[in-house]
Amino acid sequence: MAPDLPSLTSYPADIRVAYVDYNGTALFTCASVPIGAQVEKLVILCPSLGHEYERSHRGLGQCAVQLARAGIPAIRFDYSNTGDSAEDPVAGPSRWGDEAAFLAQHFSGVFGVSDVTFLGLRFGAFAASAAAMQTAGKACLWHPVSGGAALLNEWEARHRDMNDALGRALNAYGDAILGWEIPRQWREEMSTLSLQLNTSSDIVASSSEDISACPRDRWHEVPQNAFWQAADDEGMVPGPAIAKIVDLLRGGAS
């Protein structure tokens, strides 16, 4: 079944893939670009990590395309040491917000705009909020978690439940959590992360989620749809949430 995506006065969207050098590390980027639009703003999409990265990949891709069709270039990227980006022995979760901020500067020059929003899903909310604070930009945080330790605890609990159900030892696969390697160094860094909210931070989440530091007038409710936990072959696309985000970033949501 086709996802329930927003109906827009749309521009054709072009996909442009490139590596961008960040202090000697090649970051993989995938830009969804509107053709024929007068570009006034830019969105940098910060993905989640591990199993959530894989399972939300299609949803984030569709979100980027819908933003481009609304006239907003949307840049997806892989953090260093993940996906198709290069390895960097000293990089980890605490530096990935710096990478998002750098890419915002780079692509602002490419498109000739200064209005940048960082859209971060789940783990990506930490990178997005940190980059927004660095650049005085805006952040749109999609189903965020208040702290890295809380997110890590959630993953580890699901990992224990999975291993119990399968009759496996907890550490049967070393540093893997739910099938993805999360090195000890990354876990230590994750446990120190927290959302950095500013006056331009918007939260897109369900009413059952609690980010107490967020003013309620910056909260935009969407149905709970844990598409980042869907089975690997489902590739779920959360249409209502994407519609809300596109409208919000175009300036239409209240």
Q: What is the CATH number of the domain that holds 75?
A: 3.40.50.1820
pLDDT for 1 beyond 50: no
**pTM flag (> 0.85):** yes
pLDDT above 90 for 96: yes
Pairing of strands 138-142, 115-121: parallel
Q: Pull the structure tokens for residue 183.
A: 């090195």
The pLDDT of residue 221: 87
Residue 23 domain-assigned (yes or no): yes
Residue 157 lies in a domain: no
Rounded (10°) CA dihedral 244, 210, 133, 40: 10
Confidence of residue 212 (pLDDT cuts 50, 70, 90): low
Residue written as token pair 């149905």: 223
In the numeric block, the tokens 């072959």 are attached to 233
Range of the structural domain that residue 121 is part of: 13-146+194-250
**Residue 1 placed within a domain:** no
Residue 152 lies in a domain: no
Give strand ranges (E) for the chain: 13-22, 25-34, 41-46, 74-77, 115-121, 138-142, 176-177, 180-181, 201-205, 219-221
**Residue 56 forms part of a structural domain:** yes
Whole-number Å distance between alpha carbons of 145 and 209: 8
When the pLDDT of each residue in the chain is averaged and rounded to a whole number, the result is: 87
Q: What is the mean pLDDT of residues 4-18?
A: 75
The one-character DSSP state at 228 is: G
In a domain, 175, yes or no: no
Q: Say if residue 245's pLDDT is above 60.
A: yes
Under DSSP, the state recorded for 182 is -
Neighbours of 86 (CB within 10 A): 16
Q: Name residue, tokens 């915002």.
A: 104
The residue ranking higher by pLDDT, 237 or 18, is 18
Number of domains the chain is built from: 1
d(CA 140, CA 167): 40
Tens of pLDDT, residues 174-203: 677 877 888 889 999 999 998 888 777 898
What value does the mean pLDDT take over residues 79-85? 95
pLDDT band, very low/low/confident/very high, at 213 (cuts 50, 70, 90): low
Q: Report whether pLDDT(14) > 70.
A: yes
Q: What percentage of the chain carries pLDDT values higher than 90?
A: 56
pLDDT band at 104 (very low <50, low <70, confident <90, very high): very high
pLDDT at 208 > cutoff 90: no
Is the residue at 105 inside a domain? yes
d(CA 199, CA 208): 23
Residue 206 lies in a domain: yes
Q: What Rg, from alpha-carbon coordinates, does the chain have?
A: 18
Residue 104 amino acid letter: A
